A and B are shown apart, each in its own frame.
Chain A
């Protein structure tokens, strides 16, 4: 027997419309009493619905629903389940028959009698009475629980003398949110079922609304938390940070920035950025603060703070601040205090410079003494050789000291060049003459192939002679005796190209890449113990500082060709 009674508006209207024929006074009074009860119930339903719909918190909505069902509509037990993630699938006793994996009905509110079985805190869609309501999608009701044991725990129903059940899905915009259900000791009359239907519809809307509000609230709390964390980060940063909004006002000025520019507690947030710049400008020794700018490259500024003997050096970075859609909403400028780094650099350079000078003094005595020995009374061959070894190695140490000084200057960015228009031919002649002795010693000739009528180059003469000498002596070092080294010079557009070619063994490709780095020496160069390993690194720095390029071409077995370029000197107007 099918005890499920589904009710809709039509049937309610029918029942209200059908009156028994020729009613007696008693009939009429009974009917009137019934109608009055119906009106009371529906009025109550409307009232409850209003209070439900006006609540914005889910808990209050749910409590109002179960309250209404127990107090106004005579439910012995009223419960609400909402669809949620299957958070107990691993331990759920119903897992083996669950069809709705990962989602189930969670008991979230109950009024009147409590549930008998804890398992019912989670109900799979399609299972038990409420699961059936959810799966069916419409109202399920019965006034005969005895013949319909699936709609309530039979023991519970017997003990509590429960007689009827009605459950209605909570559906909002076609989406199943949950189920509201009631059990009663009385027959559930049509008006009660109608009230349940109205209640369920409005409760669903209210629950969805509350959920939306909750989501928005959570999201806003989350973004507030993130924004607070970011604010704390910016505030705690050791870099000075200023954020400028689109209106050109200081939106954020962090603690480090206040400290770096001695702003103290001065109120600057919200001030036009130009005003803040005006306030700070007297402190800046050189360079512009440009707090509102994003276009400049990283650079350094010197800042004189009151009460500080020396200016502090700040490195300035900037970037555009972008909005959610990638649009520019302002800019940020960041300052790092690099005073200490500069001081360390300076001390390092000074240390190297001092050490170099200190090394020079004993080397002077050694070299001078050896020269005086060689020039003095005649020596036997062995002694002479020993003295020459000593002198040669002292010379090598002197070269190393000179190179280290150069490298330290280059690294500290303190390589000072004095570029002037310089005649190329005499430059080359000076370098070739300088290595003439060495060329004769190794039995290699140097051929100058200098194009006629070369323009002057912009060069620090001594430094470029140093580069040429280095490349020529390298070439000589690796040339077989009897061969020749070519020095070729020609114009290439706005540059003059110098090339030193040898006929030595060439340079393997894997070594070419690191050739211009410090202490990169081939095994052979290391064996010969002549160079310092710094020469080409210095050459590169010198050429690059002149605005030129340096490189090497080589085919192993066919010699190597080192080249560099220098800019042509601008013609006098």
Chain B
């Protein structure tokens, strides 16, 4: 079992992602934006993987990624984008800035779980 932080401003996406991951026996924490995600991380709560949208109000996924990487204790936490921005150059940009994986919407719950398991190990 891994502890996964899901960051997305869309509640339905959060719901679907959580169900897909909890069915895979992971523990899921939800954040509706970058600020909430950083607040959670700054409590020192353990986190094995961050799954993050890109297009969000107030704070984008890229900004969130940069902030996460600034925190020494989270520098090596797998950071996976899960986003509708699926153009070649957008994918390249995300990976260049330090994302571990770049997954695009729409996604199959099975595929998402497989990717996550690949990074944190099957529980």
B10 & A369 in contact (Cβ 8 Å cutoff) = no
Q: Whole-angstrom distance between the alpha carbons of A55 and B15 in the complex?
A: 105
A398 & B88 in contact (Cβ 8 Å cutoff) = no
| Residue A281 at the chain B interface, CB threshold 8 Å | no
Q: Whole-angstrom distance between the alpha carbons of A360 and B83 in the complex?
A: 9
Least CB distance, B74 to chain A, in whole angstroms:
26
User: What B residues does A364 contact at CB under 8 A?
Assistant: 13, 16, 84, 105-107
List A residues at the B interface (Cβ < 8 Å).
356-358, 360-365, 367-369, 371-372, 375-376, 394, 398, 405, 416, 418
A372 & B23 in contact (Cβ 8 Å cutoff) = yes
User: What B residues does A368 contact at CB under 8 A?
Assistant: 13, 16-17, 20, 106-109
| Residue B110 at the chain A interface, CB threshold 8 Å | yes
- Bitwise, B99-111 to A at CB < 8 A (1) or not (0) is 0000001111110
Some 20 contacts from A to B, beta carbons below 8 A apart, are A357-B84, A360-B105, A362-B12, A363-B105, A363-B106, A365-B10, A367-B108, A368-B13, A368-B16, A368-B20, A368-B108, A371-B108, A372-B16, A372-B19, A372-B20, A375-B23, A376-B23, A398-B106, A416-B88, A416-B89
User: What B residues does A369 contact at CB under 8 A?
Assistant: 12, 16
Per the 8 Å Cβ criterion, residues 74-123 of B in contact with A are: 84-89, 105-110
Least CB distance, B55 to chain A, in whole angstroms:
7
Q: Whole-angstrom distance between the alpha carbons of A371 and B23 in the complex?
A: 12
B19 & A365 in contact (Cβ 8 Å cutoff) = no
Q: Whole-angstrom distance between the alpha carbons of A398 and B104 in the complex?
A: 12
B105 & A371 in contact (Cβ 8 Å cutoff) = no
- Which residue on A lies nearest to B8, using beta carbons? A361
- Which residue on A lies nearest to B104, using beta carbons? A360
Q: Whole-angstrom distance between the alpha carbons of A394 and B110 in the complex?
A: 17
List B residues at the A interface (Cβ < 8 Å).
10, 12-13, 15-17, 19-20, 23, 55, 84-89, 105-110
Question: Quick one: which of B15, B17, B106, B110 contacts A360, CB cutoff 8 A?
Answer: B106
Q: Whole-angstrom distance between the alpha carbons of A375 and B89 in the complex?
A: 34
Q: Whole-angstrom distance between the alpha carbons of A557 and B17 in the complex?
A: 49
Given contacts A371-B110, A375-B110, A416-B88, contact A361 B16 (CB under 8 A): no
Most buried by B among A368, A371, A375: A368
B16 & A357 in contact (Cβ 8 Å cutoff) = no
User: What A residues does B89 contact at CB under 8 A?
Assistant: 416
User: What B residues does A394 contact at CB under 8 A?
Assistant: 106
User: What A residues does B20 contact at CB under 8 A?
Assistant: 368, 372
Least CB distance, A331 to chain B, in whole angstroms:
41
- Which residue on B lies nearest to A363, using beta carbons? B106
Q: Whole-angstrom distance between the alpha carbons of A367 and B105 in the complex?
A: 10
Sample of 17 further A-B pairs with CB below 8 A, known A357-B55, A362-B12:
A357-B84, A361-B10, A361-B84, A364-B105, A364-B107, A365-B16, A367-B108, A368-B13, A368-B17, A368-B106, A369-B16, A371-B108, A371-B110, A372-B16, A372-B23, A375-B23, A375-B109
User: What A residues does B110 contact at CB under 8 A?
Assistant: 371, 375
- Which residue on B lies nearest to A395, using beta carbons? B106
- Which residue on A lies nearest to B12, using beta carbons? A365
Q: Whole-angstrom distance between the alpha carbons of A375 and B86 in the complex?
A: 26
